[in-house]
Structure 1
Amino acid sequence: MQIAYHAKYPQLVCVILLSFNFANAAQIICGENNSSAEFENNFNIILKNLVNNTSSSNRFNTSSYGKTPDKVYGLLQCREDTTAKECFSCSQDANTTIRDVCKNARGGRYLLGNCFIRYENYSFFGILDTKPRVTPNKRNVTEEPDVFKRAVTELFNNLTEIALQSSTRYSSGLTRTTTLYPINGELQCWRDLTSVEDCRTCIGQAIRNLLDVTFTDHGTLQGGAPECGSCFARYDTYPFFNPAPPPPPSPIKLLSPTATKSSNKLGIVLGIVAGSLVMLLLCLFAIRRKFKFALSWKQAVLRKVNLDSEVDSAIGQEQEIIFNLENIKAATSNFHEDNKLGEGGFGSVYKGTMPNGLQIAVKRLSVQSSQGKKQFLNEIKLVAKIQHRNLVNLL
């Protein structure tokens, strides 16, 4: 147990760190111990309301009860990736623990693995609180720490923008540096913080506090989890969050017999009109193509010759292996998310297996990427020249 001062309360507060394992690291902070019997009664009612309503109300709930000065305000929120069952279980554990540890205290907060609970004798809803508490993962990064740091920073930058654009202010994701260190990251603002800028400020402060603890002159740690009063951030080299579920299928609408007949008649008419238009367009296209075919073919040949010469020059190899798009799609299951290895500034990288058993990694440019042919050739030239035990061969 550690005893520390808290800026909010002039008296001593108790900070208890439970670290049976890092995935369930917990932090409890209790306020001053001068609550009345009326406050305790209101406190018990608030906890009961929060636990009963949070898991069934989209993982978030606030509640208040009583009269000043014994009125109690409470908030309970589960991580966005938790199921209703996990949320309810965590809420019950948080309820029991904060009741036992913060007994007779007029305020407290508890960050458990899957949920966060807070109560006070004043309304704190929507008020930005960036006071930090960080739980570090004390395992050191032993290979390429500078590369690891850059990857963590880039991951948090991407997750921050995703969280701020989300209605739930939550994001999670994975990136990779080497096969030894996949990096999992997660961010979330508590939903009472409705201001986007306040959420950005809180997340930014949480990340800075985290990196100040995990990135030091004495070493680089593999993970950490800071919690502020209004948000939390976390990264580690093992998965600790649930992957996002696939979107539900669109509902099937059933039509009445009358509506079906009307739809059929309308469909026939539209089909005839559309067919006529298509035939007309095909005729015009065929005529136009006849006159421009020779010129288009010549330009295409010239473009291919120029590109091939640039690639040959950049790679400097006598033999190339050419993959067409359909083979790449088949090898990566049409760029399925399960095959995604990571994401960089220009796009995502996917693993794949060719029909002959050859395992490959494929980089797919993002539609938002500004990378052009010149940058593409420069990247090929660079990767082809690098020889390192953690890099696969460029095909």
Structure 2
Amino acid sequence: MLRRLHLYSTHKTIPAPRLTSLFFLFLSLSSYDNFVKAHIFIYADCSQETYVPNSPFEENHNSLLASIVSSSSQASYNSFAIGNGSSSPPEGICYGLYQCRGDLKTTDCSRCIESAVNQISLVCPYSYGAALQLEACYVRYEHIDFLGRLDTNLKYKRCSKSVDNDVEFFRRRDDVLADLPTAMGFKVSCSGPVEGYAQCLGDLSSSDCSSCLADAVGQLKNLCGSAAADVYLGQCYARYWASGYYDLTSDSSNEDDEGKTVAIVVGILAGVAILIVLLSFCRRVMD
């Protein structure tokens, strides 16, 4: 588990292993393969500070999430400050942003963001700050201004099983990784059988983006040494894989009791939802 002091708020990272299979249970009911892939849960980052219901922050928080969903049908990235410079008390201000992967169509982006917004309140209930990463989109909000502030803390990593010391593969991999920090937004690169892509959040300057990606690439080299790997930092991520090979496992060091508790809660809700659907179907058949 990653414990860190972030903009005066303590967060806990909830990694994918406890939640991926549960959300995938819902998503597998869909016949749209691309929809399922885009919505796979990667990680969530929840503040331990919580707000009370019906507080000024809750009102602005709900307004922010609604604005994020609405904006995602028009653009793949946007940032917001709700309650800033108004009559709202300082503790009610809510900052946030969302971003979709650079190769996602607008309609798919909007659906991914809507899913992320629906999940973030479930995974991080009443949190003063939260971030949620799906396979193809990201949502974050805070009660203090984080926009444009470089954050290269490691949030999550996934590595495939280690491979033999294949000199040619690692040469190709290093060629791809050397190209990714040149990204201005979303970058795709390939060298022979090795492919990769990287992306910064839209609130970063070009110099901070390069710095973040250089850090992510360095961690990819040092943390994994395998045929496929992802690294997610606070404001950027990078990924590489050998063509036809993408079997990743999560970082087991991120596991904690909170993640297991959330998994139990989400699992119960998933079971109840499916049971309701089945009972409704059976009732129609019997009628």
Equivalent of 1:232, from 219, 222, 237? 237
Counterpart in 2 of 1:82?
A: 104
Deviation at 1:150, TM superposition (A): 2.0
The code of the aligned residue for 2:72 comes to: T
Alignment of 1:1-395 (within 5 A): 3-8=1-6, 11=10, 13-17=12-16, 18-20=19-21, 24-36=40-52, 37-57=55-75, 59-66=76-83, 67=88, 68-142=90-164, 144-161=165-182, 163-164=183-184, 169-176=185-192, 182-193=193-204, 195-215=205-225, 221-238=226-243
Conservation of the 8 A alpha-carbon contact between 1:134 and 1:210: no
C-alpha change, 1:228 and 1:239, in structure 2 (3 Å) is farther
CA deviation string 1:171-197 (max 9, x = no partner):
112222xxxxx222001111111x221
Q: What letter matches 1:51 in structure 2?
A: V
Task: Point out where structure 1 has 5 or more consecutive residues left out of the alignment.
Answer: 177-181, 216-220, 241-395
> What is the match of residue 256 of structure 1?
none
How far the C-alpha of 1:141 sits from its partner, in A, is 2.3
Distance 1:239 1:97, change over 3 A: farther
SS at match of 2:5: coil
Q: How many Å separate the matches in 1 of 2:219 and 2:43?
A: 16
Q: 1:239 Cα deviation (Å)?
A: 7.0
Change (3 A) 1:110 1:80: same
Q: CA deviation at 1:124?
A: 1.2
Structure 2 distance, partners of 1:35, 1:171, is 38
Query: Would you say the 8 A contact 1:15–1:27 is kept in 2?
Result: yes
Query: What is the number of equivalent residue pairs in this alignment?
Result: 220
User: Relative contact order (alpha carbons < 8 A, sep ≥ 6): 1 or 2 greater?
Assistant: 2
**Aligned equivalents of 1:83 and 1:202: distance in 2?**
25
AA matched with 1:30 = C
8 Å contact kept, 2:5–2:11: no
Once the two structures are TM-superposed, the CA of residue 19 in structure 1 deviates from its matched residue by 4.3
Any idea what the Cα deviations from partners look like across 1:111-151, whole Å, max 9, x if unmatched? 11111111001111111111112322323324x53322221
| Distance change >3 Å, CA 200–CA 83, structure 1 → 2 | same
Q: Which runs of 5+ in 2 are unaligned?
A: 25-36, 246-287
Q: Distance in 1 between matches of 2:2 and 2:151?
A: 18
Instruction: Give CA-to-partner distance per residue, 1:72-106, whole Å, 9 cap, x none.
Output: 00100101100112101110111011111111111
Task: Return closer, same or farther for 1:238/1:44 CA change in 2, 3 Å cut-off.
Answer: farther
Contact 1:109 1:119 in 2 (8 A): yes
TM-score, normalised via structure 1 length: 0.52
Deviates more, 1:119-128 or 1:129-138: 129-138
After TM superposition, give the deviation of residue 25 of structure 1 in Å.
5.0
Cα deviation digits, residues 243-298 of structure 1 (max 9, x gap): xxxxxxxxxxxxxxxxxxxxxxxxxxxxxxxxxxxxxxxxxxxxxxxxxxxxxxxx
1:202 alignment partner, SS class: helix
Task: Describe the SS at the equivalent of 2:145.
Answer: coil
CA contact (8 A) 1:134 1:209 kept: no
Change (3 A) 1:50 1:12: closer
TM-score relative to the length of structure 2: 0.70
Paired with 1:114 and 1:11, the residues of 2 have a C-alpha distance of 26
Shift of 1:71: 0.7
Identical counterparts, % of pairs: 26
Bigger radius of gyration: 1
SS in 2 for 1:116: strand
What's the RMSD between the two structures over aligned residues? 2.3
Q: Following the alignment from structure 2 to structure 1, what is the Cα–Cα distance between the partners of residues 92 and 57?
A: 5
Match of 2:207, SS state, is helix
